[in-house]
Each structure stands twice: as C-alpha cells, then as structure tokens.
Amino acid sequence: MKIRYILAGYLLSMSALLPLQAQEKDCDIHFMAILPQDTSISETVSEQLFNRLCNAISDADVYASEDYARFFVSAHMTPLFKETIPGPPENTAITLSVNLYVGDIIGQKIFATQNLELKGVGRSEERAYINALRGLRPGNAKVMKLVEEGKKKVIDYYNRNFDNIVAKTKQCAAVKQNAEALFYITSIPECCNRYDEANKLTLSYYKLYIDNNCRDLIMKARNAWMQSPDAKGATEVAFYLNQIDPDAECYDEAASLYKEVKEKMKDDWEFEIRQKYNDAVDIEKSKIEAARAVGVAYGNGQKEKTTNLMWLK
C-alpha cells in the first residue's frame, strides 16, 4: 500500500504577499486585543465586542489580534440605560458606555483612553447589545485618536529601550532560549529608529533557532527510522524532515537521511525534502516573517501568565 505523505504548506510561502501590505502602512504595529473578564454579558456579545474592537482600529495603521504582545488594546462596556419598548413586537433599547484603552500589559500602564456612548435596539437584550456595538467601527474619530496616542507611546518605548531589548535577546540566546529571543527582537516595529539593526539581529538569531531546531529534528527522525524502518517509520521521518529549514547547518544530514529512506521505500514514499532557496531578497523577507511567527508562537504560550487585566480601571 502506498504511503501518501502530503507535504505541509511552507509557512514562508505566503510571506511574499506581506511586503505589499507593509508598504501601505507607516508602521506595522501589533496590539494584542484582550477584554477584561465580564460575566454580565453573554459569550456572543463578548465575541462581537472583540471583533468590533479589532476591526475599529484597522484604519489607524495598526492591527490587533488575540496573538500575544506587550502592548494591548481593550474595551470595557457598562450599560447606562435599558428600556423595554412595548410591541408588538416588543423590543429592548440599551445605551452603553464603552471605555477603550491602549496600554502596556507588562508595565501595567495605560497610554490612552477614550469613551464612546453607543445605542442599540433589538428584539432581545443580546440583540440590542450587538446592534449598539455597530457604532464601534473603523474611521471613528475617537478610535483614531486613541490609536494615534497609543502608537506614539509604543514607538517611544522601543526607541528608548532598544539596547535593553537587544540585551534581553542576547541573554535568552546565550542559554538557547531561541524562541524567546526571537519574541523580543521581532517585536520592534519597522518605524523605530534602529529597525534595520533589529532586522540584522533577527536574521542572526533565527539562524541559531533553525540550527538548534534542525539538530533536534534530525535526532527524532533518525530514532523513528531506527525503531521502525518501514512505512510507519518513513511517515514519521517525513514529518520531522518537513520542518527543517533548508538553510539549517544540518540540512545536508537531513538530505542524506531522506535519500536513505527513499532508497528503501522506493515509490511507496511520496515525499520531497524542502529545497534550498535561490532569490536572496525573498529569502531575507521570508526568514524575517518566519522569525516573527516563532516569536508570536512563544508569546502565545505566555498569555495565561501575563494577561490579567484586574488592574485596569
């Protein structure tokens, strides 16, 4: 029976689209979107608030997502007025006070705040909330002002703390905490004074990351093949080899193992090891995006430890 191993789409293959987006923005700053816990509203309303918040700031040359970042945007709403409108059909009218925040979640600092008063009517209280939140939209003058004030503080933070961030990055790399190192160095936005220097360091630390990762993956692939030199083992080998970056120092060793398995499995192993790159410019862009993805993944693993908003007022 043929083993069909589908080669996972290379993470970097889509990165060619990203530079076009970057050109359209003055500075690609990422805010983590996070909401304080609020048991008084339904999950549906909470999701609507989250999505509206992320969408509302998208016109201000920044973006927000649930991915972890030091700097955050948040919203907290309080009902000011609620009224039942007789029918038929009966409706609920609600007026909300929505406080918006941009700040530093690690330093527990608020950089900027704005307040919106939103009104909605619906056949149920939940629908009234959802309709009211439609007022939280891109282009809102208060939202734009909030983000602009927050951006200035974020850029100022990175300009003033560049050397400290680099020192922290080096400290992490020295003890082979390479994913954490990439989290720090790739957090620096492109509009900061020393962004070009940060890019060079990103490439350097990403090389350390893929080299260390390669050694771990080769060991796992060899162990899998030794324990099961058959179709099952070949599938495991493919899984590990597929994750090895072609620029990693052990790539030739990976190619050798690939050849060994291929010769034994013959046509029953439909897998091709990733090839080395040709275009130097595309390589650099792709590697920076890949390094950012590693940093984001590391940051997301820290969310539970650092995203408490009990201090937010």
Q: 99 - beta bridge partners?
A: 76, 115
| pLDDT for 22 beyond 50 | no
The pLDDT-based confidence of 59 (bands split at 50, 70, 90) is confident
pLDDT of residue 276: 66
Looking at the fold, whether 123 and 244 belong to one and the same domain comes out as: no
Looking at the fold, whether 168 and 301 belong to one and the same domain comes out as: yes
Model pTM?
0.78
Percent of the chain with pLDDT over 70: 88
Question: Is the CB of residue 233 less than 8 Å from the CB of residue 220?
Answer: no
- CATH number of the domain encompassing residue 95: 3.40.50
Q: How far apart are CA 75 and CA 49, in angstroms?
A: 8
Chosen domain end from 99, 126, 159: 159
Chosen domain end from 140, 159, 178: 159
Question: Is the CB of residue 165 less than 8 Å from the CB of residue 197?
Answer: no
* Residue showing tokens 């927050």: 150
Percent of the chain with pLDDT over 90: 60
Looking at the fold, whether 192 and 235 belong to one and the same domain comes out as: yes
Number of domains in the chain: 2
Looking at the fold, whether 34 and 91 belong to one and the same domain comes out as: yes
Sign of the torsion angle spanned by Cα atoms 174, 178, 183, 186: positive
| pLDDT for 48 beyond 90 | yes
Chosen domain end from 159, 183, 213: 159
Q: How far apart are CA 56 and CA 139, in angstroms?
A: 7
Looking at the fold, whether 149 and 185 belong to one and the same domain comes out as: no
Amino acid letter at 58? S
Q: How far apart are the first and last CA of the chain?
A: 63
Question: Is the CB of residue 65 less than 8 Å from the CB of residue 54?
Answer: yes
Looking at the fold, whether 155 and 165 belong to one and the same domain comes out as: no
| Nearest in space to 137 (alpha carbons), one of 53, 33, 35 | 53
Burial class (CB in 10 A: 0-12, 13-18, 19+), 45: buried
Question: Is the CB of residue 92 less than 8 Å from the CB of residue 83?
Answer: yes
Q: Is residue 311 part of a domain?
A: no
For residue 260, give both structure tokens. Answer: 């060994």
For residue 169, give both structure tokens. Answer: 């990055």
| Nearest in space to 102 (alpha carbons), one of 65, 69, 73 | 73
Looking at the fold, whether 114 and 230 belong to one and the same domain comes out as: no
Q: Is residue 214 part of a domain?
A: yes
| 3-class SS shares of the chain: helix, strand, coil, % to 5 | 55, 20, 30
Residue ranges making up the domain that contains 85: 24-159
Q: Is residue 228 part of a domain?
A: yes
Looking at the fold, whether 133 and 168 belong to one and the same domain comes out as: no
pLDDT of residue 270: 76
Of the CA atoms within 13 Å of residue 16, those in its CB half-sphere come to 7
Looking at the fold, whether 96 and 173 belong to one and the same domain comes out as: no
Q: Is residue 171 part of a domain?
A: yes
Looking at the fold, whether 165 and 296 belong to one and the same domain comes out as: yes
Q: Is residue 89 reached through a cis peptide bond, with omega within 30 degrees of 0 on the bond before it?
A: yes
* Residue showing tokens 């945007």: 73
The pLDDT-based confidence of 305 (bands split at 50, 70, 90) is low
List pLDDT tens digits, range 283-304.
Answer: 788 888 999 999 999 999 877 6
Q: Is residue 313 part of a domain?
A: no
Classify residue 230 by its DSSP letter. Answer: S
Q: Is residue 312 part of a domain?
A: no
Looking at the fold, whether 227 and 125 belong to one and the same domain comes out as: no
